Protein backbone atom coordinates (compact mmCIF):
# COMPACT_ATOMS: atom_id res chain seq x y z
CA UNK A 1 0.00 0.00 0.00
CA UNK A 2 1.33 3.42 -0.89
CA UNK A 3 1.71 5.95 1.85
CA UNK A 4 -1.31 8.20 2.20
CA UNK A 5 -1.00 11.59 0.61
CA UNK A 6 -4.06 12.68 2.49
CA UNK A 7 -2.78 12.74 6.05
CA UNK A 8 0.70 12.86 7.44
CA UNK A 9 1.36 9.37 8.82
CA UNK A 10 3.70 10.53 11.54
CA UNK A 11 1.13 12.66 13.33
CA UNK A 12 -1.24 9.78 13.98
CA UNK A 13 0.90 6.70 14.20
CA UNK A 14 0.49 6.46 17.96
CA UNK A 15 -3.30 5.95 17.96
CA UNK A 16 -4.15 2.36 18.95
CA UNK A 17 -6.73 0.65 16.78
CA UNK A 18 -10.18 0.38 18.34
CA UNK A 19 -11.07 -3.35 18.52
CA UNK A 20 -14.06 -3.92 16.20
CA UNK A 21 -15.25 -7.40 15.22
CA UNK A 22 -17.18 -6.36 12.13
CA UNK A 23 -20.38 -4.68 10.99
CA UNK A 24 -23.30 -5.35 13.32
CA UNK A 25 -26.19 -3.85 11.35
CA UNK A 26 -27.23 -0.94 9.17
CA UNK A 27 -30.24 1.13 10.20
CA UNK A 28 -32.18 3.13 7.64
CA UNK A 29 -34.70 5.82 8.50
CA UNK A 30 -37.51 5.46 5.98
CA UNK A 31 -40.83 7.15 5.21
CA UNK A 32 -42.84 3.94 5.37
CA UNK A 33 -41.08 1.14 7.23
CA UNK A 34 -43.93 -1.34 6.67
CA UNK A 35 -43.65 -1.02 2.88
CA UNK A 36 -39.84 -0.81 2.86
CA UNK A 37 -39.74 -4.08 4.83
CA UNK A 38 -41.81 -5.70 2.09
CA UNK A 39 -39.33 -4.47 -0.56
CA UNK A 40 -36.29 -5.86 1.25
CA UNK A 41 -38.07 -9.08 2.14
CA UNK A 42 -39.52 -9.86 -1.27
CA UNK A 43 -37.06 -7.97 -3.48
CA UNK A 44 -33.78 -8.90 -1.79
CA UNK A 45 -34.94 -12.04 0.02
CA UNK A 46 -34.32 -10.98 3.62
CA UNK A 47 -36.06 -12.75 6.51
CA UNK A 48 -38.14 -10.51 8.73
CA UNK A 49 -36.92 -11.50 12.19
CA UNK A 50 -37.90 -8.80 14.69
CA UNK A 51 -40.17 -5.83 15.20
CA UNK A 52 -40.80 -2.99 17.60
CA UNK A 53 -43.68 -0.54 17.50
CA UNK A 54 -46.90 0.38 19.31
CA UNK A 55 -47.53 -3.29 20.15
CA UNK A 56 -44.19 -3.57 21.96
CA UNK A 57 -44.56 -0.31 23.89
CA UNK A 58 -42.96 2.17 21.48
CA UNK A 59 -44.98 5.38 21.18
CA UNK A 60 -43.24 7.35 18.42
CA UNK A 61 -41.35 4.92 16.16
CA UNK A 62 -41.48 1.54 14.51
CA UNK A 63 -38.63 -0.74 13.37
CA UNK A 64 -38.44 -3.90 11.28
CA UNK A 65 -35.30 -6.06 11.44
CA UNK A 66 -34.31 -8.00 8.33
CA UNK A 67 -31.63 -10.65 8.13
CA UNK A 68 -29.91 -12.61 5.38
CA UNK A 69 -26.64 -14.43 6.00
CA UNK A 70 -24.83 -12.14 8.42
CA UNK A 71 -26.44 -8.99 6.99
CA UNK A 72 -28.83 -7.23 9.36
CA UNK A 73 -30.83 -4.25 8.10
CA UNK A 74 -33.10 -2.27 10.43
CA UNK A 75 -35.83 -0.13 8.88
CA UNK A 76 -37.10 2.55 11.21
CA UNK A 77 -40.02 4.88 10.60
CA UNK A 78 -41.64 7.62 12.66
CA UNK A 79 -45.16 7.60 14.10
CA UNK A 80 -44.96 11.33 14.90
CA UNK A 81 -44.15 14.45 12.84
CA UNK A 82 -41.80 16.05 15.32
CA UNK A 83 -39.07 13.64 16.30
CA UNK A 84 -35.51 13.13 15.09
CA UNK A 85 -36.56 10.31 12.71
CA UNK A 86 -39.23 12.43 11.00
CA UNK A 87 -36.77 15.30 10.66
CA UNK A 88 -34.12 12.99 9.14
CA UNK A 89 -36.63 11.72 6.57
CA UNK A 90 -37.87 15.25 5.76
CA UNK A 91 -34.31 16.42 5.10
CA UNK A 92 -32.70 13.37 3.49
CA UNK A 93 -35.50 11.15 2.23
CA UNK A 94 -34.95 7.46 3.02
CA UNK A 95 -31.35 6.83 3.98
CA UNK A 96 -28.85 5.30 6.35
CA UNK A 97 -28.83 6.66 9.89
CA UNK A 98 -26.61 4.10 11.60
CA UNK A 99 -23.57 2.06 10.65
CA UNK A 100 -23.48 -0.20 13.71
CA UNK A 101 -20.23 -1.90 14.68
CA UNK A 102 -19.96 -5.16 16.59
CA UNK A 103 -17.49 -4.62 19.43
CA UNK A 104 -16.15 -6.61 22.37
CA UNK A 105 -16.60 -3.73 24.78
CA UNK A 106 -19.15 -1.03 23.96
CA UNK A 107 -18.41 1.01 27.06
CA UNK A 108 -14.71 1.18 26.33
CA UNK A 109 -15.28 1.82 22.58
CA UNK A 110 -17.49 4.75 23.51
CA UNK A 111 -15.25 6.26 26.18
CA UNK A 112 -12.12 5.79 24.04
CA UNK A 113 -13.56 7.41 20.93
CA UNK A 114 -15.13 10.28 22.87
CA UNK A 115 -11.83 10.87 24.68
CA UNK A 116 -10.18 11.03 21.24
CA UNK A 117 -12.59 13.76 20.17
CA UNK A 118 -15.65 11.97 18.76
CA UNK A 119 -19.00 13.64 19.41
CA UNK A 120 -21.36 11.45 21.45
CA UNK A 121 -24.72 10.69 19.78
CA UNK A 122 -26.25 8.29 22.33
CA UNK A 123 -24.71 7.76 25.71
CA UNK A 124 -23.76 4.30 26.93
CA UNK A 125 -26.74 2.07 27.74
CA UNK A 126 -26.93 -1.37 29.31
CA UNK A 127 -30.03 -3.52 29.05
CA UNK A 128 -30.55 -6.56 31.19
CA UNK A 129 -33.52 -8.74 30.29
CA UNK A 130 -34.44 -12.43 30.14
CA UNK A 131 -32.14 -12.81 27.11
CA UNK A 132 -29.05 -11.53 28.86
CA UNK A 133 -27.07 -8.29 28.71
CA UNK A 134 -27.04 -5.97 25.71
CA UNK A 135 -24.82 -2.87 25.63
CA UNK A 136 -24.64 0.01 23.18
CA UNK A 137 -23.55 3.61 22.63
CA UNK A 138 -23.21 5.88 19.59
CA UNK A 139 -20.96 8.56 18.15
CA UNK A 140 -21.41 10.90 15.21
CA UNK A 141 -19.62 10.54 11.90
CA UNK A 142 -20.19 12.42 8.59
CA UNK A 143 -23.47 14.29 8.11
CA UNK A 144 -26.20 13.05 10.44
CA UNK A 145 -24.87 9.49 10.22
CA UNK A 146 -23.82 7.74 13.41
CA UNK A 147 -21.76 4.72 14.45
CA UNK A 148 -23.36 2.61 17.17
CA UNK A 149 -21.10 0.32 19.16
CA UNK A 150 -23.02 -2.87 19.88
CA UNK A 151 -21.86 -5.44 22.43
CA UNK A 152 -24.10 -8.47 22.15
CA UNK A 153 -21.84 -11.36 23.19
CA UNK A 154 -23.85 -11.80 26.39
CA UNK A 155 -27.21 -11.45 24.68
CA UNK A 156 -29.34 -14.30 23.32
CA UNK A 157 -32.39 -12.41 22.02
CA UNK A 158 -33.39 -12.26 18.34
CA UNK A 159 -31.95 -8.78 17.77
CA UNK A 160 -32.03 -6.31 20.65
CA UNK A 161 -34.02 -5.54 23.81
CA UNK A 162 -37.57 -4.24 23.30
CA UNK A 163 -37.89 -6.04 19.98
CA UNK A 164 -40.45 -8.79 19.47
CA UNK A 165 -39.21 -11.86 17.65
CA UNK A 166 -41.01 -12.63 14.40
CA UNK A 167 -41.34 -16.27 13.43
CA UNK A 168 -42.16 -17.85 10.10
CA UNK A 169 -41.50 -14.83 7.88
CA UNK A 170 -38.65 -16.17 5.72
CA UNK A 171 -37.88 -14.12 2.65
CA UNK A 172 -36.46 -16.78 0.29
CA UNK A 173 -32.77 -15.78 0.33
CA UNK A 174 -30.72 -14.92 -2.77
CA UNK A 175 -27.30 -15.72 -1.31
CA UNK A 176 -26.40 -12.45 0.40
CA UNK A 177 -23.76 -13.33 3.00
CA UNK A 178 -22.19 -10.34 4.74
CA UNK A 179 -21.56 -6.62 4.47
CA UNK A 180 -18.33 -6.13 2.51
CA UNK A 181 -18.03 -2.34 2.78
CA UNK A 182 -20.11 0.78 3.42
CA UNK A 183 -19.35 3.92 1.42
CA UNK A 184 -19.90 7.53 2.45
CA UNK A 185 -20.04 10.69 0.32
CA UNK A 186 -18.69 13.93 1.81
CA UNK A 187 -18.46 17.49 0.50
CA UNK A 188 -15.73 18.80 -1.77
CA UNK A 189 -12.57 19.47 0.20
CA UNK A 190 -13.68 17.37 3.20
CA UNK A 191 -12.21 13.94 2.39
CA UNK A 192 -8.92 14.51 4.19
CA UNK A 193 -10.78 15.64 7.31
CA UNK A 194 -12.76 12.37 7.41
CA UNK A 195 -9.68 10.29 6.68
CA UNK A 196 -8.10 12.00 9.64
CA UNK A 197 -11.25 11.34 11.72
CA UNK A 198 -11.06 7.57 11.18
CA UNK A 199 -7.31 7.61 11.89
CA UNK A 200 -7.55 9.69 15.03
CA UNK A 201 -10.79 8.31 16.52
CA UNK A 202 -10.62 4.65 15.42
CA UNK A 203 -6.93 4.13 14.74
CA UNK A 204 -7.88 2.87 11.24
CA UNK A 205 -5.61 3.42 8.27
CA UNK A 206 -5.91 4.19 4.58
CA UNK A 207 -6.30 0.81 2.90
CA UNK A 208 -6.51 2.18 -0.62
CA UNK A 209 -6.97 5.56 -2.22
CA UNK A 210 -8.04 6.77 -5.61
CA UNK A 211 -7.26 10.10 -7.20
CA UNK A 212 -9.36 12.04 -9.67
CA UNK A 213 -7.43 10.45 -12.55
CA UNK A 214 -8.39 6.93 -11.42
CA UNK A 215 -12.06 7.77 -11.27
CA UNK A 216 -12.88 10.15 -14.05
CA UNK A 217 -14.81 10.11 -17.25
CA UNK A 218 -15.25 12.83 -19.81
CA UNK A 219 -17.66 14.57 -17.48
CA UNK A 220 -17.38 13.88 -13.81
CA UNK A 221 -14.89 12.78 -11.24
CA UNK A 222 -14.40 11.93 -7.62
CA UNK A 223 -11.60 11.15 -5.24
CA UNK A 224 -11.81 8.39 -2.69
CA UNK A 225 -10.03 6.83 0.29
CA UNK A 226 -10.83 3.49 1.92
CA UNK A 227 -10.49 3.47 5.71
CA UNK A 228 -10.08 0.04 7.28
CA UNK A 229 -9.03 -1.78 10.42
CA UNK A 230 -6.03 -4.08 10.25
CA UNK A 231 -7.90 -7.33 9.60
CA UNK A 232 -10.18 -5.46 7.10
CA UNK A 233 -13.38 -6.68 8.75
CA UNK A 234 -14.38 -3.01 8.52
CA UNK A 235 -13.91 -1.22 5.21
CA UNK A 236 -15.31 2.29 4.92
CA UNK A 237 -14.55 4.02 1.62
CA UNK A 238 -15.22 7.78 1.57
CA UNK A 239 -15.74 9.81 -1.62
CA UNK A 240 -15.65 13.51 -2.35
CA UNK A 241 -16.60 15.17 -5.64
CA UNK A 242 -13.81 16.28 -7.97
CA UNK A 243 -13.93 18.81 -10.75
CA UNK A 244 -15.05 17.56 -14.16
CA UNK A 245 -16.75 19.06 -17.16
CA UNK A 246 -20.14 18.36 -15.57
CA UNK A 247 -21.55 17.72 -12.13
CA UNK A 248 -19.92 14.87 -10.21
CA UNK A 249 -22.22 11.97 -9.26
CA UNK A 250 -21.11 12.63 -5.67
CA UNK A 251 -22.36 16.21 -5.94
CA UNK A 252 -25.70 14.96 -7.26
CA UNK A 253 -25.94 12.74 -4.18
CA UNK A 254 -25.09 15.65 -1.86
CA UNK A 255 -27.65 17.89 -3.58
CA UNK A 256 -30.42 15.38 -2.93
CA UNK A 257 -29.31 14.01 0.43
CA UNK A 258 -28.59 17.61 1.49
CA UNK A 259 -25.61 16.52 3.56
CA UNK A 260 -22.87 13.90 3.60
CA UNK A 261 -24.21 10.38 4.07
CA UNK A 262 -24.00 6.74 3.04
CA UNK A 263 -23.86 6.28 -0.74
CA UNK A 264 -23.84 2.50 -1.01
CA UNK A 265 -23.76 -0.71 0.96
CA UNK A 266 -21.80 -3.55 -0.64
CA UNK A 267 -22.95 -7.07 0.19
CA UNK A 268 -20.90 -10.18 -0.54
CA UNK A 269 -22.21 -13.30 -2.24
CA UNK A 270 -20.52 -16.61 -3.12
CA UNK A 271 -22.33 -16.89 -6.44
CA UNK A 272 -23.03 -13.53 -8.03
CA UNK A 273 -24.61 -15.06 -11.13
CA UNK A 274 -27.23 -16.92 -9.09
CA UNK A 275 -27.77 -13.94 -6.76
CA UNK A 276 -28.20 -11.35 -9.52
CA UNK A 277 -30.35 -13.64 -11.71
CA UNK A 278 -32.72 -14.06 -8.80
CA UNK A 279 -32.69 -10.35 -7.84
CA UNK A 280 -33.48 -9.38 -11.43
CA UNK A 281 -36.38 -11.87 -11.50
CA UNK A 282 -37.75 -10.20 -8.39
CA UNK A 283 -37.66 -6.77 -10.00
CA UNK A 284 -34.50 -5.25 -8.50
CA UNK A 285 -33.08 -2.74 -11.00
CA UNK A 286 -29.36 -2.57 -11.80
CA UNK A 287 -27.09 -0.20 -13.69
CA UNK A 288 -26.12 -1.56 -17.07
CA UNK A 289 -22.88 -0.98 -18.92
CA UNK A 290 -22.55 -0.86 -22.72
CA UNK A 291 -22.11 -4.23 -24.48
CA UNK A 292 -18.69 -3.02 -25.65
CA UNK A 293 -17.52 -3.54 -22.05
CA UNK A 294 -17.83 -7.31 -22.52
CA UNK A 295 -16.13 -7.36 -25.94
CA UNK A 296 -12.94 -6.09 -24.27
CA UNK A 297 -13.39 -8.05 -21.03
CA UNK A 298 -11.42 -11.27 -21.51
CA UNK A 299 -8.46 -9.31 -22.83
CA UNK A 300 -8.53 -7.11 -19.73
CA UNK A 301 -9.12 -9.71 -17.01
CA UNK A 302 -7.75 -12.91 -18.55
CA UNK A 303 -9.20 -16.32 -17.74
CA UNK A 304 -12.13 -16.39 -15.33
CA UNK A 305 -14.44 -19.21 -14.18
CA UNK A 306 -17.63 -17.50 -15.34
CA UNK A 307 -19.18 -17.45 -18.79
CA UNK A 308 -18.78 -13.93 -20.19
CA UNK A 309 -22.06 -14.10 -22.12
CA UNK A 310 -23.86 -14.88 -18.90
CA UNK A 311 -22.14 -11.94 -17.17
CA UNK A 312 -23.08 -9.66 -20.08
CA UNK A 313 -26.68 -10.81 -19.91
CA UNK A 314 -26.84 -9.90 -16.22
CA UNK A 315 -24.65 -6.77 -16.44
CA UNK A 316 -22.05 -8.06 -13.96
CA UNK A 317 -18.63 -6.32 -14.01
CA UNK A 318 -15.24 -7.99 -13.49
CA UNK A 319 -11.93 -6.60 -12.31
CA UNK A 320 -8.55 -8.32 -12.09
CA UNK A 321 -5.87 -7.64 -9.49
CA UNK A 322 -2.55 -9.38 -8.92
CA UNK A 323 -4.10 -11.54 -6.18
CA UNK A 324 -7.22 -12.60 -8.07
CA UNK A 325 -10.39 -11.03 -9.41
CA UNK A 326 -13.76 -9.76 -8.29
CA UNK A 327 -17.22 -9.56 -9.79
CA UNK A 328 -19.59 -6.72 -8.92
CA UNK A 329 -22.82 -4.98 -9.88
CA UNK A 330 -24.65 -1.90 -8.62
CA UNK A 331 -28.37 -1.39 -8.18
CA UNK A 332 -30.14 1.77 -9.18
CA UNK A 333 -31.06 4.00 -6.21
CA UNK A 334 -33.45 2.16 -3.89
CA UNK A 335 -35.64 5.15 -3.03
CA UNK A 336 -37.10 8.18 -4.83
CA UNK A 337 -34.05 10.41 -4.43
CA UNK A 338 -30.87 9.50 -6.39
CA UNK A 339 -28.99 8.72 -3.18
CA UNK A 340 -28.50 5.27 -1.57
CA UNK A 341 -27.88 2.17 -3.69
CA UNK A 342 -26.52 -1.35 -3.14
CA UNK A 343 -23.56 -3.23 -4.59
CA UNK A 344 -23.42 -7.01 -4.88
CA UNK A 345 -19.83 -8.28 -4.87
CA UNK A 346 -18.13 -11.66 -5.20
CA UNK A 347 -14.43 -11.77 -4.37
CA UNK A 348 -12.24 -14.42 -5.93
CA UNK A 349 -8.93 -13.42 -4.43
CA UNK A 350 -9.19 -9.70 -5.14
CA UNK A 351 -9.25 -7.34 -2.15
CA UNK A 352 -9.89 -4.02 -3.92
CA UNK A 353 -13.00 -2.23 -5.11
CA UNK A 354 -13.05 -2.73 -8.87
CA UNK A 355 -10.80 0.12 -9.96
CA UNK A 356 -10.74 -1.25 -13.53
CA UNK A 357 -14.53 -0.83 -13.66
CA UNK A 358 -14.68 2.75 -12.47
CA UNK A 359 -14.75 4.26 -15.93
CA UNK A 360 -17.45 1.95 -17.36
CA UNK A 361 -19.41 2.22 -14.17
CA UNK A 362 -19.31 5.97 -13.95
CA UNK A 363 -20.36 6.30 -17.56
CA UNK A 364 -23.37 4.14 -16.69
CA UNK A 365 -24.11 6.33 -13.65
CA UNK A 366 -23.79 9.47 -15.78
CA UNK A 367 -26.27 8.10 -18.27
CA UNK A 368 -28.79 7.80 -15.43
CA UNK A 369 -27.79 11.22 -14.06
CA UNK A 370 -28.39 12.71 -17.49
CA UNK A 371 -31.90 11.15 -17.66
CA UNK A 372 -32.59 12.90 -14.36
CA UNK A 373 -31.43 16.26 -15.76
CA UNK A 374 -28.58 16.42 -13.25
CA UNK A 375 -25.47 16.08 -15.41
How far apart CA 8 and CA 185 sit, in angstroms, is 22
Residue 222 or 266: the one with the smaller Cβ distance to Fe ion is 266
Q: Could you tell me if 37 and 66 are in contact, meaning their C-beta atoms sit under 8 angstroms apart?
A: yes
Q: How far is the CB of 338 from Fe ion (least distance, A)?
A: 17
Q: How far is the CB of 206 from Fe ion (least distance, A)?
A: 16
Q: How far is the CB of 235 from Fe ion (least distance, A)?
A: 9
Q: How far is the CB of 354 from Fe ion (least distance, A)?
A: 7
Q: How far is the CB of 263 from Fe ion (least distance, A)?
A: 9
Q: How far is the CB of 343 from Fe ion (least distance, A)?
A: 4
How far apart CA 157 and CA 266 sit, in angstroms, is 27
3-state secondary structure of 371: helix
180 binds Fe ion (CB under 5 A): no
Q: Could you tell me if 267 and 327 are in contact, meaning their C-beta atoms sit under 8 angstroms apart?
A: no
Residue 266 or 297: the one with the smaller Cβ distance to Fe ion is 266
Q: How far is the CB of 362 from Fe ion (least distance, A)?
A: 12
Q: From the CB of residue 375, how many other CB atoms can be counted at a distance below 10 Å?
A: 19
Candidate segments 100-108, 151-159, 293-301, 342-350, binder of Fe ion by CB under 5 A: 342-350
Handedness of CA 113, 115, 116, 118 (dihedral sign): positive
Positions of E strands within the chain: 22-29, 47-52, 61-68, 71-78, 95-102, 120-129, 132-140, 146-151, 164-165, 176-185, 205-210, 221-228, 235-242, 261-269, 317-321, 324-330, 341-348
Residue 151 or 319: the one with the smaller Cβ distance to Fe ion is 319
How far apart CA 45 and CA 171 sit, in angstroms, is 4
Q: Could you tell me if 150 and 104 are in contact, meaning their C-beta atoms sit under 8 angstroms apart?
A: no
Q: How far is the CB of 34 from Fe ion (least distance, A)?
A: 29
Binding mask 298-337 for Fe ion (x = CB under 5 A): ----------------------------------------
State which of positions 60-119 bind Fe ion (CB under 5 A): none
18's CB contacts (< 8 A; 6+ apart) are: 103, 109, 112, 113, 201, 202, 203, 204, 229
88's CB contacts (< 8 A; 6+ apart) are: 29, 95, 97, 144
Residue 151 or 209: the one with the smaller Cβ distance to Fe ion is 209
Q: What is the DSSP string of 97-142?
A: EEEEEE-S-HHHHHHHHHHTTPPEEEEEEEEEETTEEEEEEEEE-S
Q: Could you tell me if 217 and 206 are in contact, meaning their C-beta atoms sit under 8 angstroms apart?
A: no
Residue 266 or 340: the one with the smaller Cβ distance to Fe ion is 266
How far apart CA 107 and CA 19 sit, in angstroms, is 12
Q: How far is the CB of 171 from Fe ion (least distance, A)?
A: 23
Binding mask 248-287 for Fe ion (x = CB under 5 A): ------------------x---------------------
150 binds Fe ion (CB under 5 A): no
State which of positions 25-44 bind Fe ion (CB under 5 A): none
Residue 50 or 236: the one with the smaller Cβ distance to Fe ion is 236
Residue 47 or 343: the one with the smaller Cβ distance to Fe ion is 343
Q: How far is the CB of 244 from Fe ion (least distance, A)?
A: 20
343 binds Fe ion (CB under 5 A): yes
Handedness of CA 229, 209, 334, 314 (dihedral sign): negative
Paired strand residues for 231: none
Residue 109 or 236: the one with the smaller Cβ distance to Fe ion is 236
Residues that bind Fe ion in the complex, under the rule CB under 5 A:
266, 343
Amino acid sequence: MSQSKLVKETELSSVAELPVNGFDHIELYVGNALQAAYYYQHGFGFDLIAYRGLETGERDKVSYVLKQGQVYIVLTGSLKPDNEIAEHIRLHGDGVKTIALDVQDASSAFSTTVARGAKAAMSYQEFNDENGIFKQASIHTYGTTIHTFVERAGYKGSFAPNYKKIKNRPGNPVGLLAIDHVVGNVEVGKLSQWVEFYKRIFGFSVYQEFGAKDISTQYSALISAVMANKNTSIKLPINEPAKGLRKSQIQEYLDYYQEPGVQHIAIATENIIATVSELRKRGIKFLTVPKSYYAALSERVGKIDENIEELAELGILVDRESSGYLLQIFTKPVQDRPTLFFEIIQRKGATGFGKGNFKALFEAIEEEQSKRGNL
